[in-house]
């Protein structure tokens, strides 16, 4: 399941993050790569755990906590602190799959990567190429979103970023462990939640059917969730 989260960061939030990271020192993107990814990855990123990365990540984590759509899509249990990368002309990230376990350096924090997130931090008209391409059961999905928009997709999927041919692509990326491990169950909960939201808008929250469906959602979540 691939879900877009529009305006995860508003224009002010994007500007705040960019002011922090644009003034920081960037390093080779393979600092966080596994052996397979290192063969395909050509980009730059902020050093993990650097003051700039932590400050910018705090803005994004706050935005995640304020996004009902993100919560419904991901049902997050653990979120890896957001990282930041950029692709200049000729840089790319070939086809790869994200590591199943992500371990934060210098700590005992680790998670199972159920879902990956890319938050775009540059307007799409400012660069050519740099398209996130995700291969799923429905075929190849191409994603290039406005600054502040995010996409959530399975970490198990094959994906790549096409070469940038003009300008610079800037983004944040991170992984999360969902409370609901099974992707099929997460999809059913997402569909049910979206239906409840639509019916609430049509019938109101006090409608008996809305209340019963809301109860069903929470009972299914209670049945499937780890916390």
Look at the block and give the residue holding tokens 């209340």. Answer: 211
pLDDT tier, 202 (very low <50, low <70, confident <90, very high otherwise): very high
* Mean pLDDT (whole number) for 31-37: 61
pLDDT of residue 29: 76
Return phi, psi of residue 86, to 5°.
-145, 145
Q: Which helix (H) or strand (E) holds 51?
A: helix 51-65
* Rounded Cα distance, 91 and 41, in Å: 8
Rounded to the nearest integer, the mean pLDDT of the chain is 94
In the chain, what are the domains?
3-178 (2.60.120.620), 183-224 (4.10.860)
* pLDDT tens, residue by residue, 157-185: 999 999 999 999 999 999 999 999 999 99
Q: Which two tokens stand for residue 119?
A: 């938050």
> Which residues are CB-neighbours of 77 under 8 A, at least 6 positions away?
111, 176, 177, 178, 179, 226, 227
Q: Which two tokens stand for residue 217?
A: 């959602």
């Amino acid at each position: 399941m691939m879900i877009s989260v529009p305006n995860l960061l508003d224009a002010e939030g994007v500007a705040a993050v960019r002011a922090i990271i644009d003034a920081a020192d960037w390093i080779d993107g393979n600092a966080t790569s596994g052996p397979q990814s290192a063969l395909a990855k050509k980009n730059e990123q902020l050093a993990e755990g650097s003051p700039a990365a932590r400050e910018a990540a705090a803005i994004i984590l706050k935005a995640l906590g304020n996004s009902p759509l993100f919560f419904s899509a991901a049902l997050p249990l653990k979120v890896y602190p957001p990282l930041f990368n950029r692709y200049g002309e000729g840089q790319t990230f070939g086809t790869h799959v994200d590591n199943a376990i992500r371990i934060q350096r210098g700590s005992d924090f680790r998670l199972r990567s159920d879902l990956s997130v890319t938050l775009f931090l540059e307007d799409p008209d400012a660069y050519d190429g740099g398209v996130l391409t995700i291969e799923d059961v429905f075929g190849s999905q191409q994603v290039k979103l406005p600054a502040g928009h995010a996409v959530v997709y399975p970490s198990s999927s094959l994906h790549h970023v096409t070469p940038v041919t003009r300008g610079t692509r800037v983004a944040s990326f991170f992984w999360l462990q969902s409370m609901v491990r099974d992707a099929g169950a997460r999809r059913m909960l997402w569909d049910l939640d979206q239906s409840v939201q639509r019916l609430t808008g049509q019938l109101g929250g006090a409608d008996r059917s809305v209340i019963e469906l809301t109860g069903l959602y929470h009972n299914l979540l209670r049945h499937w969730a780890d916390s």
